[in-house]
Structure 1
Amino acid sequence: MHTETKDEMQEKILDAALKRFTHYGASKTTMNEIADDLHCSKASLYYYFPDKNAMHMAVLERIAEAYFQEMEKETQQVKSASKALNNIIEIRRIFVSKFCRLEIFKILQDGNSFFYAGMIKAKKREIEIHTEIIKAGIASGEFKVKHPAKAAELLVQSLMGLRFSVPDHFRNDADLNEEQFAQVIEKQKQLLEIFIKGMKA
């Protein structure tokens, strides 16, 4: 009979938590509900995670890793840098739509320093991915850019900035609803189109 290792049990807990969080929302999910789903005691969960916030963070880290791995695929064998950059926006749209109930911005508002540090690393990783795509565009003659890393940084920061300015009445301490998110994605596509034209000039 197979005895589960600590890592295997931790993965099972994260699977159950992710399923609950994406369906009901993180704040509306209790540790008791996750324990019930796993047919274990709540005390068993606390052996792996000190509290629900720690579990929430672990879920977000897992999703973030999958997100970046998907984006990094776009840096491999780039045939069209323009298409690859547009694909990044589509990857973002799919992930945010799928995991919109994970309440990322609520955690930011709560002032979680560990999560904030993770966001800084995530932004750096996203800039690096965009840099690689722009470099591929330069190598193929598609783009004419002197400083790909600076262009990538400006592009990523501009795209991120739209999340806080569209729509005008949106608060930066809340997560987007579907309509608001669709507006942001549309503006990101428009901005990217202008940016790509500038890099081709």
Structure 2
Amino acid sequence: MHAETKDEMRDKILDAALKRFTHFGAAKTTMNEIADDLHCSKASLYYYFPDKKAMHFAVLEKIGEAYFQEMEKEAAATTSAAKALLNIIGIRKAFISKFSRLELFKVLQDSASMFHEGMKRAKLREIELHTDIIRKGVASGEFKVKHPEQTAEILVQALMGLRYSVPDCTLNDSDLDEEMFGAVIEQQKLLLEIFIKAMKA
């Protein structure tokens, strides 16, 4: 019989947590419930994660990696840089809609260093992805941009900023509801179209 490795057990815990978080919400899920789903003790969970917050962050890292891989695949496969940028908006919409119960926007407000550093890394990776797409557009003659990295940074910052400026809510509010999220996505599309038009000029 196959003996599970430490990494395999950790992945099983994360899969169970993701299933619970996605269905019931991260805040409403307890460590006991995850342990029950896995038919193990709560102490077993604490062997891998010091607390639920650390587990929540590990779940977000796991799905975040899948999110970036999907965006990077799209960027590599699409010949038009403008189309790749627009398609990434669709990937973002599908991702946040699918994982809305993971309380992604609450994490953005969390002051814990692990969340802060994780979001910083994610932001830098998204800027790098957009920089690569813009450079690809410049190389093909689709875009006329002198500073791709600076342009990508401004674009990503502006797209992220719409999370807080479009909805009629404060930073203390919980996750976006479907209507508010739809409004953010529509504004992101409009903003991106402005950027694309400027980069082609």
Instruction: Check whether TM > 0.5.
Output: yes
What amino acid maps onto 1:82 in structure 2? A
Query: In 2, Cα distance between the equivalents of 1:49 and 1:186?
Result: 38
Are 2:152 and 1:133 aligned? no
- What's the CA shift for 1:77? 4.6
Counterparts of residues 68-79 of structure 1 (less than 5 Å): 68-79=68-79
Name the counterpart of 2:193.
Answer: 193
Are 2:85 and 1:85 aligned? yes
Name the counterpart of 1:13.
Answer: 13
Q: Structure 2 vs 1, CA of residues 200 and 108 (structure 1 numbering), >3 Å: closer, same or farther?
A: closer
Name the counterpart of 1:160.
Answer: 160
Q: Structure 2 vs 1, CA of residues 79 and 110 (structure 1 numbering), >3 Å: closer, same or farther?
A: closer
Are 2:39 and 1:29 aligned? no
Q: CA RMSD in A?
A: 1.1
Name the counterpart of 2:169.
Answer: 170
- What's the CA shift for 1:32? 0.9
The structure 1 segments of at least 4 consecutive aligned residues displaced by more than 6 Å after TM superposition are none
Deviations 1:148-167 (A, max 9, x none): 11111111111111111012
What amino acid maps onto 1:18 in structure 2? L
Secondary structure class of the residue paired with 2:12: helix
Contact 1:166–1:183, Cα closer than 8 Å, also in 2:
yes
Secondary structure class of the residue paired with 1:76: helix
Name the counterpart of 1:112.
Answer: 112
What amino acid maps onto 2:171 in structure 1? N
Contact 1:78–1:136, Cα closer than 8 Å, also in 2:
no
Name the counterpart of 1:182.
Answer: 182
Query: In 2, Cα distance between the equivalents of 1:194 and 1:75?
Result: 20
**TM-score, with structure 2 as normaliser:** 0.96
Query: In 2, Cα distance between the equivalents of 1:78 and 1:26?
Result: 35
Q: 5+ unaligned residues in a row in structure 1: which ranges?
A: none
Name the counterpart of 2:50.
Answer: 50
Q: Structure 2 vs 1, CA of residues 133 and 108 (structure 1 numbering), >3 Å: closer, same or farther?
A: closer
What amino acid maps onto 1:134 in structure 2? I
Query: In 2, Cα distance between the equivalents of 1:108 and 1:156?
Result: 15
- What's the CA shift for 1:110? 3.5
Query: In 2, Cα distance between the equivalents of 1:181 and 1:194?
Result: 20
Query: In 1, Cα distance between the equivalents of 2:29 and 2:15?
Result: 14
Name the counterpart of 1:102.
Answer: 102
What amino acid maps onto 1:102 in structure 2? L
Query: In 2, Cα distance between the equivalents of 1:109 and 1:128?
Result: 23
Query: In 2, Cα distance between the equivalents of 1:110 and 1:119?
Result: 10
- What's the CA shift for 1:48? 1.2
Deviates more, 1:127-136 or 1:41-50: 41-50
Name the counterpart of 2:38.
Answer: 38
Query: In 2, Cα distance between the equivalents of 1:106 and 1:77?
Result: 33
- What's the CA shift for 1:72? 1.1
Query: In 2, Cα distance between the equivalents of 1:108 and 1:131?
Result: 23
